[in-house]
Amino acid sequence: MGAGLLAHTEKIAARRAVALSVVVPCYNEIGGVAELYRRVTAVCREQAGHSYEIVLVIDGATDGTREAIFELAKKDSHVVGIDLARNYGHQIALSAGLEFCCGERILILDADLQDPPELLKAMMAKMDEGFDVVYGQRLKRQGEGWFKRATAALFYRLLRKMVDVDMALDSGDFRLMNRRALDHLNAMPERYRFIRGMVSWIGLKQVAFAYERHQRFAGTTHYPLKKMVLLAMDAMTSFSIVPLRFASHLGMIFGFLGLAALGYTLFSWVAGSVLPGWTSLAAIVLILGSVQLLVLGIFGEYLGRMYMETKRRPLYLINEIAAHDPAAGKLPVHRLQEMAEELTKGAVRASGRI
C-alpha cells in the first residue's frame, strides 16, 4: 500500500478502535446474511456493548450478497462491507478482513453459521484466563459426509507429523485472537496462505475450545473437493519440506533397486542363465519414468510458489468499502504507483493491505 494510504488507514483505525471485531468472509451467502447479522449482532452486544464491528468481506459474490451487506452497512454503523475486486478465495478474503479490522479481540467466523457465534461468550472467558488465541476444535461435524470427515482427519494428522509447528487437530479457522496475535499474523507476507497453520506458527499462548459443528444454515458448501485439495497443497508446501525429502528418499530407494537389478543381471549372465525379456525392462522404465515425473511435480509445486512470491503483486484488490462512517467508506484504496514506489524502497510489503 502507498504511504498516504497507510496514514489514512491509521486515522480510521484510531477513530473506529473497538473492543471486538468479527471477521466473516462471504461468497454467495444471500440466504444466510440476514441470520448471520442477527446472531452476530446479538452476541457482540452481549459481550462488547456498543464497542464492536462486524467486518463482512465480499469475495466476488454474484448472488446479491454484496447488495445485502452494503444495505446492512448503511443501516448499522457497526457493519463494514469490504467488496473485493474479484473472487480471491476464502483464505485471502479472510486475510483482507483481518488486515482491515481494528478490534482488540478478533473472532474469525464463517458465513455459513456452522460455527455458532453464540460460543463467543465461552471463548472470551477462556481468553480472560491469559490466552492469546482460543481456537475451536471440532468434536462432531454435522451435515458433512463420511468422506470429508475421514479425509480431513487424515490430513490434519498427516500434516502434524510433517511439520515442526504444533498444528492443532480437527480445527478450522474458527478462533478468537487478541490484537497481539493478529499483529504477528498480519506481518506474515506470503501469498499462499493457510491461516490456521500460520496462527499455529506464531506460537504464544493458545488453547483449544471443543465444540460441535452445526449444519449450514443455508445454501451449499463452497469448499468442493478441488478446493480442499488445493488448500491441502498450500498447507503442505507452506509449512513443510518433507515432500522434497520424500523425493530424495524415493530416488535413493530406486537407486538401490537399480543396483540390485544390475547385480542380478550380471550374476545371471555369468551363470549362463537366460535373461528376462523386454516386458520386465519396459515395466521398469515406465515405473522409473513415473517416479521422475512425480519428483518433478513436487519440485514444480515449490518452484511455482517461489515464482509467484517473487512477483510481489498485491495479495488482493478492493473494489469498494461500505461503512456507516463516512471516513471509512469508498476510499481510494489501491494506488498501484505509490505501492510500487514503496516496494522499491523496501518500506512495505506487497500484501495489498489498505
pLDDT digits (tens, 9 = 90+) for 151-166: 666 766 676 666 667 7
* 149 shares a domain with 249: no
Write out pLDDT tens, residues 79-88: 989 999 888 8
Please check whether residue 27 is in contact with residue 222, taking contact to mean a CB–CB distance below 8 angstroms: yes
* 255 shares a domain with 220: no
* 269 shares a domain with 138: no
Please check whether residue 231 is in contact with residue 192, taking contact to mean a CB–CB distance below 8 angstroms: no
- 51 in a structural domain: yes
Closest by CA position to 196, among listed 224, 226, 169: 169
DSSP 275: P
Least confident of 40-44, 114-118, 317-321, 333-337: 333-337
Instruction: Please determine, for residue 346, whether its predicted confidence score (pLDDT) is greater than 50.
Output: no
Least confident of 63-77, 164-178, 238-252, 292-306: 238-252
Q: What average pLDDT does the structure give for the chain?
A: 74
* 112 shares a domain with 74: yes
* 335 shares a domain with 305: no
- 237 in a structural domain: no
For position 107, what pLDDT does the model report? 94
* 175 shares a domain with 72: yes
Question: At how many degrees (to 10) do helices 195-202 and 179-186 cross?
Answer: 110
State the cell numbers at 174. 474458527
Domain span at 69 = 3-224+312-345
* 169 shares a domain with 116: yes
- 272 in a structural domain: yes
* 163 shares a domain with 273: no
* 108 shares a domain with 86: yes
Please check whether residue 54 is in contact with residue 80, taking contact to mean a CB–CB distance below 8 angstroms: yes
- 143 in a structural domain: yes
* 97 shares a domain with 107: yes
Closest by CA position to 102, among listed 213, 191, 221, 21: 21
Please check whether residue 34 is in contact with residue 112, taking contact to mean a CB–CB distance below 8 angstroms: no
State the CATH number of the domain containing residue 11. Answer: 3.90.550.10
Write out pLDDT tens, residues 236-263: 666 666 677 776 677 777 767 767 766 7
* 168 shares a domain with 269: no
Please tell me the distance from the alpha carbon of residue 262 to that of residue 196, in angstroms, as a whole number: 48
Instruction: Please determine, for residue 217, whether its predicted confidence score (pLDDT) is greater than 70.
Output: no
**Beta strands 175-178; 133-141: pairing state:** antiparallel
* 257 shares a domain with 140: no
- 231 in a structural domain: no
Q: In which band, very low, low, confident or very high, does the pLDDT at 182 lie, cut at 50, 70 and 90?
A: very high
- 301 in a structural domain: yes
3-class DSSP assignment, residue 330: coil
Please tell me the distance from the alpha carbon of residue 155 to that of residue 315, in angstroms, as a whole number: 26
H/E stretch holding 21 reads: strand 18-26
Please tell me the distance from the alpha carbon of residue 108 to that of residue 94, in angstroms, as a whole number: 8
Which residue is associated with the grid cell 522499491? 344
Q: Say what percent of the chain tops pLDDT 90.
A: 15
- 229 in a structural domain: no
- 353 in a structural domain: no
Q: In which band, very low, low, confident or very high, does the pLDDT at 13 lie, cut at 50, 70 and 90?
A: very low
* Count: domains in the chain: 2
Q: Say what percent of the chain tops pLDDT 70.
A: 62
Please tell me the distance from the alpha carbon of residue 288 to that of residue 281, in angstroms, as a whole number: 11
